[in-house]
């Protein structure tokens, strides 16, 4: 995974989820009456709007006609009287359930309908009490929509630009341009560098270490600790010795062949005590057998 020259900063983005028109599920119960009907609010109109997934909060009750609902003990209480309201009153009732009616929706969905009209981008409602049919209500409610929802999305940054986001990066501040593993660490696997049970670098991988010279040249003040790691297989004391020898072998190559100043390097072996991954699978154990280059911040 290569460093990127551009990287994201930690930010909060507000993403708007678009409004969508109300639709009654095909299997919804109850259903509006086919004939023109006045409904009570308690067991009928409220339940019908509930079939659309709508509910009225107690805070919204003050905007509706008192004959439709009131608040008692912090709960919405509906009436048992069948009342045909005016479209203007219906509008206050319906919007109290958290939906909105936009002028463009009136023009598109309610053109020619007596419920509402638009003039100069202003919606006007009839003041004549009307009992609508089920077909009317399906048309009227289809013009209403849930308002757009602003959702805050956390964009997790990549402060050191290595392609591993900060929440997963266990090795922050690695130098730009080096190859990193899934943990965001500047690391090479032992299988790439060494034969089994050996601390002698494989000649065919000298070029991988030669490439590190570019990072040392790009950051002339950078000091690095060469960390040797093993998996948990075998004796802990042996793993400790092997990790130390491998770290020293890498450091010596960087000094004697690559040309990195010895004063900028330090070799440390950690054996099996600092696994990067659980030692529970063959693949994870292979990734734990590694050499990491850790920039030292106190230099």
Q: How many CA atoms lie within 13 A of 106 on its CB side?
A: 18
Mean of pLDDT values over 43-52: 89
Mean of pLDDT values over 258-283: 95
Per-residue pLDDT tens for 199-220? 999 999 999 999 999 999 999 9
pLDDT category at 29 given cuts 50, 70, 90 is low
Measure the CA–CA gap between 267 and 288, rounded to whole angstroms.
17
pLDDT category at 156 given cuts 50, 70, 90 is confident
Q: What is the pLDDT of residue 158?
A: 87
Q: Find the helix or strand (DSSP H, E) in which 232 lies.
A: none
Q: List the CATH code of the domain at 187-295.
A: 3.30.1330.60
- On whether the pTM is more than 0.75, the answer is no
Is it the case that residue 104 has pLDDT exceeding 70? yes
Query: CA torsion 195→197→199→204, rounded to 10°?
Result: 0
Task: For 155, list phi and psi in degrees, rounded to 5.
Answer: -95, 110
Structure tokens at 163: 């392609």
Q: Is 284 exposed, middle or buried (0-12, 13-18, 19+ CB in 10 A)?
A: middle
Classify 78 as helix, strand or coil: strand
Is it the case that residue 16 has pLDDT exceeding 80? no
Mean of pLDDT values over 176-202: 90
Q: What is the pLDDT of residue 19?
A: 55
Is it the case that residue 251 has pLDDT exceeding 90? yes
Q: What ranges do the domains of the chain cover?
A: 19-147, 187-295
Beta strands in the chain (DSSP E): 11-17, 20-21, 69-72, 75-78, 100-101, 116-119, 122-125, 144-146, 149-155, 187-189, 224-229, 265-269, 290-295
pLDDT category at 5 given cuts 50, 70, 90 is very low
Cα diameter, the chain:
96
């Amino acid at each position: 995974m290569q460093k990127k020259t551009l990287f994201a900063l930690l930010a909060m983005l507000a993403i708007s989820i678009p409004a969508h028109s109300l639709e009654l599920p095909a299997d919804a119960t109850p259903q509006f009456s086919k004939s023109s009907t006045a409904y009570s609010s308690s067991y009928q109109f409220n339940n019908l709007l509930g079939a659309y997934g709508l509910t009225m909060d107690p805070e919204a009750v003050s905007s509706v006609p008192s004959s439709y609902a009131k608040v008692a003990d912090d709960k919405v209480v509906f009436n048992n009287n069948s009342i045909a309201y005016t479209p203007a009153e219906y509008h206050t009732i319906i919007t109290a359930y958290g939906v909105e009616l936009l002028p463009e929706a009136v023009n598109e969905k309610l053109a020619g309908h007596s419920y509402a009209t638009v003039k100069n981008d202003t919606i006007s409602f009839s003041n004549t009490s009307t009992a609508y049919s089920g077909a009317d209500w399906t048309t009227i409610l289809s013009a209403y929509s849930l308002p757009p929802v602003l959702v805050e999305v956390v964009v997790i940054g990549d402060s050191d630009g290595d392609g591993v986001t900060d929440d997963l990066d266990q090795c922050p501040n690695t130098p730009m341009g080096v190859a990193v593993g899934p943990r965001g660490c500047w690391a090479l696997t032992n299988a790439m560098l060494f034969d089994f049970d050996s601390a002698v670098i494989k000649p065919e991988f000298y070029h991988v270490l030669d490439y590190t010279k570019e990072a040392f040249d790009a950051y002339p003040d950078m000091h690095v600790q060469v960390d040797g790691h093993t998996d948990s297989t075998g004796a802990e004391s042996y793993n400790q010795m092997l990790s130390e020898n491998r770290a020293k072998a890498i450091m010596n190559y960087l000094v004697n062949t690559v040309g990195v100043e010895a004063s900028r390097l330090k070799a440390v072996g950690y054996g099996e005590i600092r696994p990067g991954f659980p030692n529970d699978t063959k693949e994870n154990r292979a990734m734990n057998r590694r050499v990491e280059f850790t920039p030292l911040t106190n230099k």
